[in-house]
Amino acid sequence: MATEAYNPFENAQAQFDGVAETLGLESGIRELLRRPMKEIHFTIPVKMDDGTTKVFQAFRFKHNDARGPAKGGIRFHPHETADTVRALSMWMTWKCAVVDIPLGGGKGGVICDPHNLSLAEQERLCRGYARQLYHQLGPNLDVPAPDVMTNGQHMLWILDEYETISGGRFPGMITGKPVGMGGSLGRTEATGYGVIYILKDLLRQIGMDPANTTASFQGFGNVAEYAASMYSELGGKVIAVSCWNQKDGKAYTFKKAGGCNIAELVSLKDSFGSIDKDKAQGLGYELLPGDAWLSQDVDILVPAALENQITPAVFPSISKQVKIICEAANGPTTPDCDKLIQERNIILLPDFLCNAGGVTCSYFEQVQCNMNYFWDKKEVLEKLEYTMTKAFRAVYELSKEQNLYMRDAAYTIAIKRVANAVKLRGWV
């Protein structure tokens, strides 16, 4: 259902340009903020297990660091592109600004498929990444984290290589590390829980009881799993879950009109986030096409997988019952669909606010590492809920005061904060 016709960086720029025009930003600030300040394209030679050398193409982009060190994940993906990394680095700037944490936006990627690499080859790739970027990374410069197809082990290899070169200990130079090795408790759940902290407060603001609502999710990776679990704990009913099937190479939607048992679906999930369709059908789940999640008669749609999923082409299939779109993924709605959402009076919780729980908890990890003092899980999640709820209320109140679409309200707050930092530093 995603379409190649949409360029993520052009989408990110279009969203920025619209708000910049409304705010009347001066031309110098617009030029500075609509593209990354620094782009590093490089190659990583890796000695493979069979003795050959393979050269991998890689990126690290810094969109803006006026408010603090750049922050952003590293993706391993065979179809990674420079424009995807550009867009994600830009969204990271707004994400950090809208939740008001002192970090900027960055992003990295390597064109590779880790499923086709041994652990030893993955380790050499990670260490090569750290060596190539040693002078660009650091707790006060640019702080990476896991992203698509990377994990805590990859981060630890990068950290170890960085510390080996520097001759010191700098656990705050990277986040998403395993607990016990500088990682933060609560980080695994943070993005998914953050989505629901915001949804819960929205429902409170508009007078809806979560227990009287239904939802449909796209995706069943880490974010969707924890979001769906918390939503169910609040009494909400998940009617459908769509996810990619690694074996078949296509997506399916699993539906149960009486409500999906999330713990049950988790028990059927493999390491790729694929649900065993035969076992699910045996437990009474209806098997539907992958895009069927979008057309369910539910109150809330939660795109939590891919970009460019809600487009003008598919929008007519969205049920008239849908009241809220909760963007747990990055860029799931294309800019040309925002007008249609507004015309239907659907409340949209924008991605860079909705899924900011991950970077917020990464910031908490960085703080803990730099202090060399770690909080318990309860404290981490309390701080996370406070930060996410505070950010949402600022966006919601502005949207009401100025009759703004929620995405525009979030952008207005984020762009103003970054533009102000740029001005105060005398960059423009």
Q: What is the pTM of this model?
A: 0.93
Residue span of the structural domain in which 233 resides: 188-349
User: Any idea which of 139-143, 182-186, 220-224, 392-396 has the lowest mean pLDDT?
Assistant: 220-224
What gap in Å lies between CA 185 and CA 114, rounded to an integer? 26
Mean pLDDT (the chain) is 95
The pLDDT value recorded for residue 1 is 41
Could you tell me the two tokens for 94? 């707004």
Find the length of the chain: 428
pLDDT surpasses 80 at 17: yes
3-state secondary structure of 244: strand
Instruction: Give the integer Cα–Cα distance in Å for 411 and 47.
Output: 44
Q: Is the pLDDT at 4 greater than 60, yes or no?
A: no
Residues 57 and 120 in one domain: yes
Question: What's the pLDDT tens digit per position in 381-398?
Answer: 999 999 999 999 999 999
Asked if the structure places residue 355 within a domain, the reply is no
393 within some domain: no
pLDDT value of residue 356: 96
Residue 249: pLDDT band (50, 70, 90) is confident
Tokens representing 34? 């609509």
Residue 244: pLDDT band (50, 70, 90) is confident
98-125 pLDDT, tens digit per residue, is: 999 999 999 999 999 998 999 999 999 9
41-70, pLDDT tens digit by residue?
A: 999 999 999 999 999 999 999 999 999 999
Q: How far apart are CA 366 and CA 182, in angstroms?
A: 9
107 is catalytic: yes
* Active-site annotation holder among 62, 95, 107, 256: 107
| CA-wise closest residue to 288 among 190, 216, 394, 348 | 216
145 and 252 share one domain: no
Domain boundary among 287, 316, 349: 349
pLDDT band at 246 (very low <50, low <70, confident <90, very high): confident
Residue type, 50: D
Q: What is the pLDDT of residues 158-170, one digit of tens each?
A: 999 999 999 999 9
Q: Which of 319, 334, 349 is the last residue of a domain?
A: 349
Same domain, 71 and 166: yes
pLDDT in tens, 175-201: 999 999 999 999 999 999 999 999 999
Question: Whole-angstrom Cα distance, residue 329 to residue 306?
Answer: 6
Helix locations, 172-274, DSSP H: 187-205, 222-233, 262-267
Task: Say how many C-beta atoms besides its own lie within 10 A of residue 81's C-beta.
Answer: 15
Continuous H helices in 44-144: 82-98, 119-132
- Measured in degrees and rounded to the nearest 5, phi and psi for residue 217 equal -110, 140
Tokens of 51: 């003795």
How much of the chain, in percent, has pLDDT values that exceed 90?
Answer: 92
Neighbours of 27 (CB within 10 A): 9
- Name the residue among 1, 8, 63, 2 with its Cα closest to residue 351: 8
Residues 340 and 231 in one domain: yes
Residues 167 and 194 in one domain: no
Residue 353 host element (H or E):
helix 351-354
Return the residue matching tokens 């997506």: 251
Q: Where are the alpha helices (DSSP H) in 206-334?
A: 222-233, 262-267, 277-282
Q: How many domains does the chain have?
A: 2
CATH at residue 162: 3.40.50.10860
Residue 338's pLDDT is what?
95
Q: What is the pLDDT of residue 73?
A: 95
- 354 lies in a domain? no
Helices H, strands E: what count in the chain? 14, 12
My answer on whether 201 and 333 are in the same domain is: yes
Q: Do 158 and 231 fall within a single domain?
A: no
183 is a domain residue: no
Q: How far apart are alpha carbons 389 and 391 in whole angstroms?
A: 5
Boundary of a domain, candidates 349, 370, 391: 349
Q: State the Cα–Cα distance between residues 218 and 362, nearest whole angstrom.
A: 24
CB distance 159 to 174 below 8 Å: yes
Q: Kindly tell me if the per-residue pLDDT of 76 is higher than 90.
A: yes
Please check whether residue 86 is in contact with residue 115, taking contact to mean a CB–CB distance below 8 angstroms: no
Rounded Cα distance, 124 and 182, in Å: 21
Distance CA 203, CA 273 (A): 28
Q: Tell how strand 286-289 and strand 250-255 pair up.
A: antiparallel
**Closest of 304, 325, 388 to residue 98, by C-alpha:** 388
Same domain, 256 and 167: no
- What does the block give as tokens for 417? 């904060």
